[in-house]
Structure 1
Amino acid sequence: MEGLTFYALAYLAAAVFAVIISRRLGLGSVVGYIAAGVIVGPILHVSGAGSEYLEQFSEFGIVMMLFLIGMEIDPQMVWRLKGKLIGLGGLQVVLTLVAVGVFGTLLGFSWQQSALFGCVVALSSTAIVLQTLEEKGLLESDGGRASFAVLLFQDLAVIPMLACIPMLASVTTVTNSAHGETFFATLPGWASALLTLGAVVFVVAAGHYLSRPVFRSIAQLGLREVFTAAALLVVVAIAALMSAVGLSPALGAFLAGVVLANSEFKQELQNDIEPFKGLLLGLFFMTIGAKIDLSILLQHWAIVLVATLAMMLIKVGVLLPLAWLFRLRATAAWLFALGLAQAGEFGFVLLSLGRERNIFSEEMVSISILVITLGMVLTPGLFILFDRIVTLLDSRGATRADDEPEEGTVIVAGLGRFGQIVNRMLLANGHKPVVLDFRADVVDDLRKFGIRSFFGDAGRPDLLDSAGLAKANVIVVAIDDPDRAVEIVTYARRANPSIKIVARAYDRLHYYRLSDAGADYIVRELFGSSLEAAVLTLRSLGMHPYEVEKRRNVFIEQDLAGLKRMAPLFDGVTPVSDNPDFIAGFNDIGKVIENAMLGNRTAYNDLVRRGWTPPVLDDSHALKAEQSRQ
Structure 2
Amino acid sequence: MAELVTVVVLLAAMVVAVPVAKRFGFGAPLGYLAAGLVVGPAGLGLVTDVGAIAHASELGVVLLLFLIGLELRPARLWVMRKAVLGLGGAQVIVTAVVVGALAAFGLGLPLPAAVVLGFGLALSSTAMVLPMLAERELLAGLSGRNAFSILLFQDLAIIPAVALLPLLGNSGAMPDADGAWLAVAKGVGAIALVLVGGRYLVRPAFRAADSAKSPEIFTATVLLIVIGTAVFVQAAGLSMSLGAFMAGVLLSDSEYRHEVRADIEPFEGLLLGLFFVSVGMAADIPALLAEPVRFIALALGLMLVKAAVLVGLGRFGGLRIGGSVRMATVLSQGGEFGFVLFGLAVSVGAMTQAQASAAMLVVTLSMLATPFLFSAEERWLAPRLIVKSPRPFDRIETDGSPVLICGFGRVGQIVGRILRLRGIPFTALEKDAAQVDFVRRFGNKVFYGDPTRPELLRAAGAETARVLVVALADVEESLRVVEIARRHFPNLTILARARNRRHAHYLMDRGVTHIVRETLDSSLRLTGDVLQTLGLPQDEVARTLDTFRAHDERTLLRQHAVHHDETRLIQTSRQAAAELQALFEADRDER
Report whether the alignment pairs 1:380 with 2:375: yes
2:548 and 2:580 in contact (8 A); partners too: no
Q: Structure 1 residue 558: deviation in Å?
A: 7.7
CA distance in 2, matches of 1:559, 1:151: 55
CA distance in 1, matches of 2:510, 2:107: 63
- Helix, strand or coil: the match of 1:47? coil
CA distance in 1, matches of 2:240, 2:282: 23
For 1:292-314, what per-residue CA distance to the aligned partner results, in whole angstroms no more than 9, with x for missing partners? Answer: 23344445544555445444444
Counterpart of 1:215? 206
Alignment of 1:296-375 (within 5 A): 296-328=287-319, 336-357=327-348, 359=351, 360-375=355-370
Counterpart of 2:82? 83
Query: Against the structure 1 CA distance between its residues 268 and 497, is the aligned structure 2 distance closer, same or farther, given a 3 Å change threshold?
Result: same
Counterpart of 1:149? 149
Q: Structure 1 residue 44: deviation in Å?
A: 1.1
Report whether the alignment pairs 1:550 with 2:541: no
Counterpart of 1:249? 240
Counterpart of 2:584? 601
CA distance in 1, matches of 2:258, 2:370: 34
Query: Against the structure 1 CA distance between its residues 374 and 492, is the aligned structure 2 distance closer, same or farther, given a 3 Å change threshold?
Result: farther
Structure 1 spans left out of the alignment, 5+ residues: 480-484, 571-580, 610-630
CA distance in 2, matches of 1:319, 1:222: 50
CA distance in 2, matches of 1:514, 1:119: 62
1:263 aligned residue (254, 268, 271) = 254
CA distance in 2, matches of 1:320, 1:20: 32
Report whether the alignment pairs 1:233 with 2:224: yes
- Helix, strand or coil: the match of 1:601? helix
Aligned residues: 561
Query: Against the structure 1 CA distance between its residues 195 and 127, is the aligned structure 2 distance closer, same or farther, given a 3 Å change threshold?
Result: closer
Report whether the alignment pairs 1:204 with 2:206: no
1:124 and 1:340 in contact (8 A); partners too: yes
Query: Against the structure 1 CA distance between its residues 233 and 531, is the aligned structure 2 distance closer, same or farther, given a 3 Å change threshold?
Result: same
For 1:124-146, what per-residue CA distance to the aligned partner results, in whole angstroms no more than 9, with x for missing partners? Answer: 44444444444444433444434
Counterpart of 1:162? 162
CA distance in 1, matches of 2:381, 2:20: 25
Query: Against the structure 1 CA distance between its residues 308 and 364, is the aligned structure 2 distance closer, same or farther, given a 3 Å change threshold?
Result: closer
CA distance in 2, matches of 1:99, 1:160: 20
CA distance in 2, matches of 1:431, 1:328: 38
- Helix, strand or coil: the match of 1:44? coil
Counterpart of 1:619? none
1:63 and 1:253 in contact (8 A); partners too: yes
Q: Structure 1 residue 247: deviation in Å?
A: 0.9
CA distance in 2, matches of 1:285, 1:133: 19
Report whether the alignment pairs 1:23 with 2:22: yes
2:405 and 2:427 in contact (8 A); partners too: no
CA distance in 2, matches of 1:467, 1:123: 52
Counterpart of 1:628? none
For 1:586-622, what per-residue CA distance to the aligned partner results, in whole angstroms no more than 9, with x for missing partners? Answer: 99477359969xxx9316879x99xxxxxxxxxxxxx
Output the TM-score relative to the length of structure 1: 0.71
> CA RMSD for the aligned pairs?
5.0
2:123 and 2:337 in contact (8 A); partners too: yes
For 1:201-224, what per-residue CA distance to the aligned partner results, in whole angstroms no more than 9, with x for missing partners? Answer: 222233222233333223322232
Counterpart of 2:54? 55
1:501 and 1:519 in contact (8 A); partners too: no
Output the TM-score relative to the length of structure 2: 0.76
1:64 and 1:253 in contact (8 A); partners too: yes
For 1:505-525, what per-residue CA distance to the aligned partner results, in whole angstroms no more than 9, with x for missing partners? Answer: 5x89xx789979x99999876
- Helix, strand or coil: the match of 1:277? helix
Paired letter, 2:584:
R
2:27 and 2:128 in contact (8 A); partners too: yes
Q: Structure 1 residue 288: deviation in Å?
A: 0.5
Query: Against the structure 1 CA distance between its residues 587 and 113, is the aligned structure 2 distance closer, same or farther, given a 3 Å change threshold?
Result: farther
CA distance in 1, matches of 2:431, 2:79: 24
Alignment of 1:427-446 (within 5 A): 432-437=427-432, 439=434, 442=437, 445=440
Larger Rg: 2
For 1:184-238, what per-residue CA distance to the aligned partner results, in whole angstroms no more than 9, with x for missing partners? Answer: 9998444433332222222223322223333322332223223322322222322
For 1:44-87, what per-residue CA distance to the aligned partner results, in whole angstroms no more than 9, with x for missing partners? Answer: 112344x4323211111111121222122222222222333333
Q: Structure 1 residue 249: deviation in Å?
A: 0.6
Report whether the alignment pairs 1:534 with 2:530: no
Query: Against the structure 1 CA distance between its residues 308 and 494, is the aligned structure 2 distance closer, same or farther, given a 3 Å change threshold?
Result: farther
Paired letter, 1:59:
E
Q: Structure 1 residue 147: deviation in Å?
A: 3.5
- Helix, strand or coil: the match of 1:60? helix
CA distance in 2, matches of 1:291, 1:594: 66
- Helix, strand or coil: the match of 2:211? helix
Counterpart of 2:491? none
Query: Against the structure 1 CA distance between its residues 496 and 594, is the aligned structure 2 distance closer, same or farther, given a 3 Å change threshold?
Result: closer
CA distance in 1, matches of 2:272, 2:103: 29
Paired letter, 1:374:
A
2:299 and 2:363 in contact (8 A); partners too: no
Query: Against the structure 1 CA distance between its residues 562 and 256, is the aligned structure 2 distance closer, same or farther, given a 3 Å change threshold?
Result: farther
Structure 2 spans left out of the alignment, 5+ residues: 399-403, 463-467, 489-493
2:470 and 2:496 in contact (8 A); partners too: yes
For 1:526-580, what per-residue CA distance to the aligned partner results, in whole angstroms no more than 9, with x for missing partners? Answer: 555444433455577652486376246247538857996997588xxxxxxxxxx
Q: Structure 1 residue 254: deviation in Å?
A: 0.7
For 1:161-180, what per-residue CA distance to the aligned partner results, in whole angstroms no more than 9, with x for missing partners? Answer: 33233334x213x8x6xxxx
CA distance in 2, matches of 1:167, 1:205: 27
Q: Structure 1 residue 16: deviation in Å?
A: 0.5
- Helix, strand or coil: the match of 1:361? helix
CA distance in 1, matches of 2:322, 2:433: 10
CA distance in 1, matches of 2:455, 2:333: 37
Counterpart of 1:389? 384
1:58 and 1:281 in contact (8 A); partners too: yes
- Helix, strand or coil: the match of 2:45? coil
Q: Which moved more, 1:204-213 or 1:537-546?
A: 537-546
2:470 and 2:478 in contact (8 A); partners too: no
CA distance in 1, matches of 2:517, 2:152: 34
2:143 and 2:323 in contact (8 A); partners too: yes
CA distance in 2, matches of 1:349, 1:171: 18
CA distance in 2, matches of 1:497, 1:306: 65
For 1:311-340, what per-residue CA distance to the aligned partner results, in whole angstroms no more than 9, with x for missing partners? Answer: 444444334444444445676555545444
Alignment of 1:396-545 (within 5 A): 398-399=389-390, 403=392, 417=410, 420-421=413-414, 432-437=427-432, 439=434, 442=437, 445=440, 451-453=446-448, 528-535=521-528, 542-544=537-539
- Helix, strand or coil: the match of 1:43? coil
Q: Which moved more, 1:424-433 or 1:356-365?
A: 424-433
Q: Structure 1 residue 35: deviation in Å?
A: 0.9
